[in-house]
Amino acid sequence: MNPADNGGAAARPVALFVLGVPRSGTSAVTRVLSLCGATLPAGLSGADPRNPRGYWEPRASLHLNNTILRRHGSAVFDPSLRLQEDGRFDDEQKAFCINKIGQFLATLPAAPLVLIKDLQITLLSGLWFEAARQAGFDIAVVNMVRPPQEVIASGSADFLTSPELGSALWLKFNLLAEKDTRDLPRVFVEYANLLEDWRREIKRISVALGLDLDSRDEDAIDEFLTPDLHRQRSTDPVTETFGTNWISSVYGALSAAARDEGLDQSQLDRIYAEYRAGEQGFRAVFENSVRLNKLNRFIRPSILKFRYEAVALAHRRRGTWA
């Protein structure tokens, strides 16, 4: 169902969310969409050396989402699915978060198409989508796709993330962005395709989501989308960090969707379930290991030696203590 397809009722404004993993071209597509008639919030996060063309993310939402993640024991660099566990947000906590998000949404410009890009929303999309509905918005989603090798290399260069962490984050963000938008009008866009022919990709977005994106500043878009935006390029085979085919399979599925070739959701469901089971098991292992290592830091080898000798003496160094 397209957002504009509302049975003849008065048109509701559309909140167009841009989702995906950091370094996947979300900033680029957000700026292009804003130059095609979508309205950005005020108070944006500006350019810096990591992103010299700007992030196009509202500072207020960045602070809000960071606060929610932190309060619930997570962060943008958390590879776990702890926030997706049943009961992680009780009814009172959900209502509190939705109310806070609603307060932010109330500050958005009055426009038929409002554009929201904050990649932390990918981790909290259920809260944001519910808040948007309650605020009177229809919802549409652009899911960005980029080869894992390029995203991982970019994350390593800009944020010092290891290839292993980068691989896990690539999987987590992409799996959640796909899984949590299945019942919504959405479209997948490959970053390289956007850079190659932005007019074609904007047409795809417009048709898939039923949005009018014809109010274009084509000169500004051509000036913005220069080849140097594609700083990390790779045609190498995908490195399967976890001894599985998860990364190549997920990228293959999403890349096909970005070519309008359909999406094998059952395959993605299987990988999500396997990733979730694996990370829950290893998370329990690592949390227990960290706790014991912290405890062990306070027990010096000399103390352990004294204890062993004292116990041996108490047993008169006989039997198994001889």
pTM for this predicted structure = 0.88
Measured distance CA(266)–CA(256) in Å, rounded = 15
Region of residue 246 (phi > 0: left; psi between -120 and 50: alpha; otherwise: beta): alpha
Instruction: Give tens-digit pLDDT for 181-234.
Output: 999 999 999 999 999 999 999 999 999 999 999 999 999 999 999 877 656 566
CA–CA distance from 208 to each of 187, 205, 277, 313 (Å)? Answer: 6, 5, 34, 79
Cβ contacts of 50 within 8 Å, gap of 6 or more: 158
Q: What is the pLDDT of residues 241-279, one digit of tens each?
A: 888 999 999 999 999 999 999 899 999 999 999 999 999
Chunk the chain into consecutive blocks of 10 residues (it has 322) and report each block's average pLDDT, rounded to whole numbers. Answer: 54 97 94 98 90 92 98 95 92 97 98 98 98 99 96 83 93 98 98 96 98 96 83 70 92 97 95 93 79 78 84 88 86
Q: What length is written for the chain?
A: 322
Beta bridge partners of 49: none
Other beta carbons within 10 Å of 12: 16
Residue boundaries of the structural domains of the chain: 14-263, 265-322
143: enclosing H helix or E strand: strand 138-145
Superfamily for the 14-263 domain: P-loop containing nucleotide triphosphate hydrolases (3.40.50.300)
